[in-house]
Amino acid sequence: MEMIDAKRVHELLDYEGLFAALEAAHKGGMPKQSDRLIYQEPNPQGQPDIFIILPAWEPQEGILAKLVTSFPNNKTRHNLPTVNSIYVFINADTGVAEAVIDGEAVIFRKTSSDSAFGSKLLSREDAENFLMIGAGGLAPYLVKAHLAARPNLKRVMLWNRTTANAEALAKTLAAEGIEAQVVSDLDKAVSEADIISSATMANEPHLKGKLLKPGAHVDLVGSFTPEMREADDDVLKRASIFVDHRQTTTRSGEFLGPYERGIITPDDVRGDLFELCQGKVKGRQSADEITMMKNGGGSHIDYYVAKYLMDRHHGRPFSTRCSS
């Protein structure tokens, strides 16, 4: 069994290659998979500690087991990352584990490429202003992925509730040759942005739909539990709503409350990445249309990315026989 470390993961999971792999995979179908399991331990100091198990299985091809934890107080209590994870890729013919993979690195690449692939399908090609809301460990990867998807972007704005963290993110990006501007007025930045990516642990919406400019695209990454929410009702009312996969976004607080209150219904979700890639639904239909994609993740995307990684690691062309 091999150990594939973070350095190797980042070398192998290039964004252009990931976009191509995700498009090819979504033209097929889902791997066989079990529902994700989520365990939460209440934390009196804020967000609960979370343990998530996500499996995926494509017979005669591969089995993936993803184990991930989210402990929000790690940074202040232990100076450790909030999210920690490992991936185990198993030979589907023998049941023998082939590799243990650094999970944090895969999550950063997988999540950011999922979001940016959605932008590549939905945002305007001439988009110039990008706003990153949130400055956690995922943020620099989201910035780089969106820049890869839309090379015409000229301005990168950063906003975070704690300004010092946004300033640290700007320094991280500068070290990689990306100039980014820290902004203090979120509402003003929202009104100027052509593409907005939000990756926070917020329980209350901070993104106001009434401020979105015509033609904007919104990428929502946080709100992965029923209690979490990043965008207000006006975003849902004004935007053409897309998701990465219809099933994996049903647990998000981004939709549950609005569904219960009749703000939107499941029928208002125009399509997901499978339907977009297979030509079953149309994406953006006008320059002024506002689009939104909720990144819900899911073990199928973990599988596609892990399979792409394993193929590249062994010098093989990417392929998957996933089918509905």
Do the Cβ atoms of 231 and 189 come closer than 8 Å? no
The answer to whether residues 135 and 313 touch, using CB atoms and an 8 Å cutoff, is no
Residue 209, pLDDT above cutoff 50: yes
Mean pLDDT calculated for residue range 289-318: 95
Task: Give the model's pLDDT for residue 323.
Answer: 58
β-bridge partners, 204: none
Helix (H, G, I), strand (E, B) or coil at 6: helix
Contacts of residue 178, defined as CB under 8 A and 6 or more positions apart, other chains included, come to 143, 144, 147, 156
Inter-residue contact 31 to 306 (CB < 8 Å) = no
CATH class, range 2-105+300-314: alpha beta
Is residue 295 within 8 A of residue 115, CB to CB? The reply is yes
pLDDT value for 170? 98
Neighbours of 177 (CB within 10 A): 6
Q: Give per-residue pLDDT as tens, 232-271.
A: 999 999 999 999 998 877 778 898 889 999 999 999 999 9
| Of the candidates 226, 227, 212, the residue with the CA atom closest to the CA atom of residue 292 | 212
55-to-42, 67, 114, 119, 261 alpha-carbon distances in Å: 25, 9, 18, 26, 33
* Interval 88-109 mean pLDDT: 95
E runs forming strands in 97-189? 97-102, 129-133, 155-159, 181-182
Mean pLDDT over 42-59 rounds to: 87
Copy the structure tokens of residue 56: 């995926």
What average pLDDT score do residues 58-68 get? 92
For the beta carbon of residue 226, count every other beta carbon within 10 angstroms.
Answer: 14
Return the residue matching tokens 């950011």.
112
**Mean pLDDT for the chain?**
93
81 vs 88, more confident: 88
Q: State the average pLDDT over residues 190-209.
A: 96
**Residue located via tokens 């009196």:** 44
User: H or E stretch including 234?
Assistant: helix 233-238
Rounded to an integer, the average pLDDT of 26-33 is 87
| Predicted pLDDT at 308 | 97
Instruction: Give pLDDT, residue 63.
Output: 94
Q: State the first-to-last Cα distance of the chain, in angstroms, to the nearest integer.
A: 30
| Packed helices 15-26 and 103-122: angle between N→C axes, nearest 10 degrees | 70
The pLDDT value given to residue 226? 84
Shortest CA distance to 159 belongs to which of 198, 128, 217? Answer: 198
**242: closest CA among 286, 296, 300, 291?**
291
- CATH class in words for 107-294: alpha beta
274-287 pLDDT, tens per residue?
999 999 999 999 99
Mean pLDDT along residues 123-130? 97
Domain boundaries, the chain: 2-105+300-314, 107-294
The β-bridge relationship of strands 46-58 and 62-70 is antiparallel
Please give the average per-residue pLDDT across 10-19, as a whole number.
97
The pLDDT of residue 81 is 83
**pLDDT confidence of 324, banded at 50, 70, 90?**
very low
pLDDT beyond 60 at 137: yes
Tokens at 193, concatenated: 């942005």
Given a contact cutoff of 8 angstroms between Cβ atoms, the answer to whether 133 and 160 are in contact is yes
Q: What is the per-residue pLDDT for 29?
A: 85
Check residue 70 and report its DSSP letter. E
pTM: 0.92
Query: Quick one: what percent of the chain has pLDDT higher than 70?
Result: 99
Residue type, 270: R
